[in-house]
Amino acid sequence: MNKNVILHLSLISGIGPATIKIIVENSISSDLVKIYKFSISDLVGIGLSFDRATKIVEGLKDRSLLDKELQLLEKHQISWCTLGSPEYSQLLSNIEQPPAVIYYQGANLFASDKAIAFVGSRKADAYARVVVEKLVPTLVAQDWVIVSGGAAGVDSFVHDSTVRSGGKTIVVLGSGLLHWYPHSNTKLFNQVIHAGGMIVSCFPLQTQPIPSNFPARNRIIAGLSQGTVVVQAAAKSGALITADFALEQGRQVFAVPGSIEHGLHDGCHNLIQQGAKLVTNVQDIIIEFGYGTGEKKILNDIQENIFTQEKLLAEPTDQADRAILDRLLVSRSTEDLLLQLDLSLEDLMEKLFDLSLQGKISQDIMGLWKRI
């Protein structure tokens, strides 16, 4: 029953984990159900302000608030756990003011202490995809759980790469679990669950994905992880918020360097200047957690195997793909390619998009395409 009381408290508008912690730690009895009989003066007596005490007393009178949430949880087969329960993430519980309630779908991966976050730009380019494909499969092979935020760009690359590599990934949403966001990733989120991963939120089930939710979501991403890798980020990227939270939580921050020709990597370069560890391979990451020396040969073997597989797949079998790659030994515009190839604009753009996702070509800030 105490679990339900904590859930009920978390559903009251304006009542956060700090207030709930005061109530739990100062409760007269270990049976939190007795809080339903508390007066405003009782709550003020344990250290709450008059306004918060009033909100709690009024909110606890509305039993329908809890009943509706419990009904939705059962109807949609969504799991949940409270701070202090065995199911709750130990890594997350160690941050300042961890959420009182965590909702999740899929397998519970919170028991793993080998969890690493990957974050980056929603407008990520082919280079970011190459970085993800270089790092994530090797970490998966070493049984790391990969954490990210489910957004377009780097987040999507990360979850997709983890699933394709046979690994487990945690998607942290900035909305309730009845409102997966972005909608374009619904298929990917289902794949994550079917592959043994989990979708996580600290928000009540029917919470909409509004902008003010995302800093809290970023804080959870950092909190669930031993460290955070920033793959690609502009100077004001939201991914840097996650890095800031990781630093506040005493977790390691890593950053991948990139081109200085455009601003997509400025945020990463700033992090490196401020002391984040520069990452060029998996060894740079895992050595920070004591996994570096004995596993170096294993990692090299894994990376060599991945490189061999990528090399076998690198040569395109499609004639149009080969023709495009042959012409992109030098930078060319879409218009140039259209004039040189026997393809419609629609077919050409589809080919360029696919080759970009495969990390074989990239487009610069001037819109020119070039083979990587």
Report the SS3 class of residue 232.
Answer: strand
Assigned domain for 299 exists: yes
The domain in which residue 39 lies consists of 2-75
The Cα-based distances of 44 to 14, 25, 35 in angstroms read: 16, 14, 13
Among 291, 307, 323, residue at a domain's last position: 307
pLDDT at 365: 66
Report the SS3 class of residue 323.
helix
Q: Are 139 and 165 in contact (CB under 8 A)?
A: no
Residue 322 and residue 240 share a domain: no
Instruction: Let me know if residue 85 belongs to a domain.
Output: no
Residues 331 and 288 in one domain: no
DSSP-derived pairing of the beta strands 227-232 and 115-120:
parallel
Q: Which CATH number covers residue 67?
A: 1.10.150
Residues 50 and 132 in one domain: no
Does residue 94 sit within a domain? Answer: no
Within this chain, do residues 361 and 283 fall inside the same structural domain, yes or no? no
Question: Any idea what the CATH number is for the domain that residue 261 is in?
Answer: 3.40.50.450
The answer to whether residues 270 and 300 belong to one domain is yes
Global pTM value: 0.80
For residues 176 and 60, state if they share a domain: no
The answer as to whether 91 is a domain residue is no
Indicate whether 100 belongs to any domain: no
Please tell me the number of Cα atoms within 13 Å of 102 on its side-chain side.
Answer: 33
Q: Are residues 11 and 30 in the same domain?
A: yes
289 and 175 inside one domain: yes
In a shared domain, residues 300 and 356: no
Kindly report the CATH number assigned to the domain that includes residue 324: 1.10.10.10
279, 307, 335 — which closes off a domain? 307
In a domain, 355, yes or no: yes
**Domain edge (last residue) among 307, 332, 362:** 307
pLDDT for residue 313:
44
**Domain identity same for 157 and 193:** yes
Residues 265 and 125 both lie in one domain: yes
Query: In terms of C-beta distances under 8 Å and separation of at least 24 residues, what long-range contacts does 24-32 make, across chains too?
Result: 24/84, 30/2, 31/1, 31/2, 32/1, 32/2, 32/5, 32/6
Q: Are residues 298 and 330 in the same domain?
A: no
* Cβ 363 vs Cβ 369: under 8 Å: yes
Close Cβ partners of 193 (under 8 Å, ≥ 6 residues apart) = 105, 106, 199
pLDDT at 303: 52
Domain count, the chain: 3
* Assigned domain for 101 exists: no
Residuewise pLDDT in 10s, the chain (372 residues): 689 999 999 999 999 999 999 998 887 556 788 899 999 999 999 999 999 999 999 999 999 999 999 999 999 999 999 999 999 999 999 999 999 999 999 999 999 989 999 999 999 988 899 899 999 999 999 999 999 999 999 999 999 999 999 999 999 999 999 999 999 999 999 999 999 999 999 999 999 999 999 999 999 999 999 999 999 999 999 999 999 999 999 999 999 999 888 799 999 999 999 999 999 999 999 999 988 655 554 555 555 554 444 444 444 557 888 899 988 988 888 888 888 888 888 788 878 877 877 778 888 767 788 888
> Which residues are CB-contacts of 92 (< 8 A; sequence separation ≥ 6)?
98, 99, 102, 110, 220, 223, 224
90 within some domain = no
